[in-house]
A and B are shown apart, each in its own frame.
Chain A
Amino acid sequence: MKRLNLPTLSFALVMIYLFLPVAATALYSLATEWNSTVLPEGLTVKWFAELYSDSRFLQAFARSFLLSGLTTIAGILIMVPAIFSIVVYAPKLERLVQLLVMLTYALPGVILAVGLIRTYAGLGIPMILIAAGAYLVGLLPFLYQGIRNSLHTVQAHSLMEAAELLGAGRWRAFLRVIVPNIMPGILVSALLSFSILFGEFVLINILVGGRYETLQIYLYNKLSKSGHIASAITVTYFILMAVITGLIVKFTRGGSAQKEVS
């Protein structure tokens, strides 16, 4: 162990600060009674059992999964061909796209929500569709960065030229050569997008409210009712995020290993 200096000390403090809430919530979700004692009186899994048998929770979880999943898939289907075309065939448009990316990145959801309500509320379009559209735009910075980088890494331009020289049509070359090559990048972008959407609260709360109860809205509704149940939800959410982060790391490593080989 090195001697204790300012960087090491602040590193330790930051890590403790980041971990304490996670640990406290995990402990609380397993505690039988914890109202007056410093440590919980006993440990139990009954809060999790209760939570997982609550159909409202299961529905909220499924809704979150569906909304985030479908939006992510739509995002990939729309953005991959678009970013491919722009990077390979119309680099001049990249500046415009970068500007839009910056704009969406710097724009808080609460501002966008105001504009969306003014534009679309009262037109008879279900607001959940509007929220999904806004999600797609919100994913733009993450999808653009990930897909663009993969395209550059595999040198999409040369790949396309080679494939076309060998007689493949443009669409065929794109689907058979480019897409498989950037698949790790697409997967990482998709997982990142999914995890961002799964934790989204601002747009869904302001635009849709309780009419489409996602996991985050359900958690919000449980906050004042049962601390233990809310802890169990939070822990479930955190574990899901840990799994997704693990997958992202795995695919990123796979991608970089491939690069080393070539």
Chain B
Amino acid sequence: MKRFTSMLFLTTMPFFLLVILFLIVPLLSMINGSFQTDGGGAYTLNQYREIFTNPYYWQAFQNSVLISFLSSLVGIVAAVFATYAITRFPDRLQQRILVITNLTSNFAGIPLAFAFIVMLGNSGLFILLARKLGLDLSQSFSLYSWSGLTLVYIYFQLPLAVMLLFPLYRGVQKQWMEAAELLGASPLKFWLKIGLPVLLPGIAGTFSILFANAMGAYASAYALTTSNYNLVPIRIGALVSGDIFARPELGSALAVLLGLTLAIALTLNEWLTRRIRRDLS
């Protein structure tokens, strides 16, 4: 028995040590730091007060929530239809498409930002094309503002949404559709009355994951706008890594608030999912 316990200890210890050193301790230190004055020392709520009263940080949260919500919404709507189309292809083709989708999910961050510069940057492919056609897009569109950034965010939401939604459709069985059709229901009626209610918890869950994914995204926005566009992750990065203007305590407070936003989004989803499911049963 003793040998058994020592083996369990020996094999799991490095793992738990790792989690404590690189996850638990840093998180606690961050929370602790968020309640301290600049440079540490005394405890205060001033960092949070500053975030709530300074319009600049307030705007960062508004921008982040807006772009995350919008990109998740577009991503999920497109993916709901597109994934359904995928499930109707032959099995082998389905697998191929999923592999390709999976591959494009690797296309994120800096490479993705760059690909969009090639297409829609100041002398991008489509900007040139539009100019040849006599359209000057630069008045209404800039890749480096929120409209361009939203397009980039939608790109990395799509593969994730498809991969998360795909297994859900397996839950809607073909027999149901046939039964509904035999009983005289139109496809639209089937989806409204049976298909969608069954899928809804999963769609809501996927939406909240997409939202959280976008709220925490850093690399694409950083590559495109450096720090011109005001988003929470960009602000956090600038506050902790800037050598001259570093204010890690303020950055900690922002990070805590970002974490809380994500926790609320994910809890809301959990609660919603359970509610919808209870109504069903």
Residues of A within 8 A of B (CB): 6-11, 13-15, 17-22, 24-25, 28, 35-38, 78-79, 81-86, 89-90, 93, 100, 103-104, 106-120, 130, 133-134, 136-137, 140, 170-171, 195, 199, 201-202, 205-207, 209, 216, 219-220, 223, 227, 230-231, 233-234, 237-238, 241-242, 245, 249
Contact = CB atoms under 8 A, between A and B. Distances in A.
Contact of A114 (B111, B216, B219, B248): B248
Interface residues of B, number: 80
Interface of B: 4, 7-8, 11-12, 14-16, 18-19, 21-23, 25-30, 33, 78-79, 81-82, 84-86, 88, 99-104, 106-119, 123, 125, 128-129, 132, 154-155, 158-159, 162, 212, 215-219, 222-223, 233, 236-237, 240-241, 248, 251-252, 255, 258-259, 262-263, 266
A137 B18 contact: yes
Contacts of B114: 25, 219, 223, 230-231, 234
Nearest to A203: B218
B255 A114 contact: yes
A137 B88 contact: no
19 contacts: A8-B85, A21-B119, A38-B132, A82-B12, A106-B262, A110-B237, A111-B236, A111-B255, A111-B258, A112-B26, A113-B237, A114-B248, A118-B248, A136-B22, A137-B19, A205-B219, A206-B237, A216-B110, A223-B223
Contacts of B27: 111-112, 115
Contacts of A17: 154-155, 158
Contact of B241 (A15, A21, A85, A117): A117
Dominant SS among interface residues on chain B: helix
Contacts of B79: 14
Given A84-B11, A111-B259, A238 B85 contact: no
Nearest to B112: A21
A141 B103 CA distance: 19
A7 B106 contact: no
A33 to B, nearest CB: 12
Contact of B218 (A25, A202, A219): A202
Nearest to B249: A118
Given A21-B116, A106-B212, A116-B22, A89 B158 contact: no
Contacts of A111: 27, 30, 216, 236, 255, 258-259
Contact of B128 (A21, A22, A37, A170): A37
Given A85-B12, A89-B4, A106 B117 contact: no
A241 B237 contact: no
Q: What 5 A-B pairs come out closest when comparing CB atoms? A: A108-B216, A115-B26, A21-B115, A11-B85, A82-B15
B104 A18 contact: yes
Contacts of B99: 245, 249
A131 to B, nearest CB: 10
A214 to B, nearest CB: 10
Given A7-B81, A7-B82, A25-B114, A35 B14 contact: no
Contacts of A133: 18, 21-22
Contact of B219 (A13, A113, A201): A201
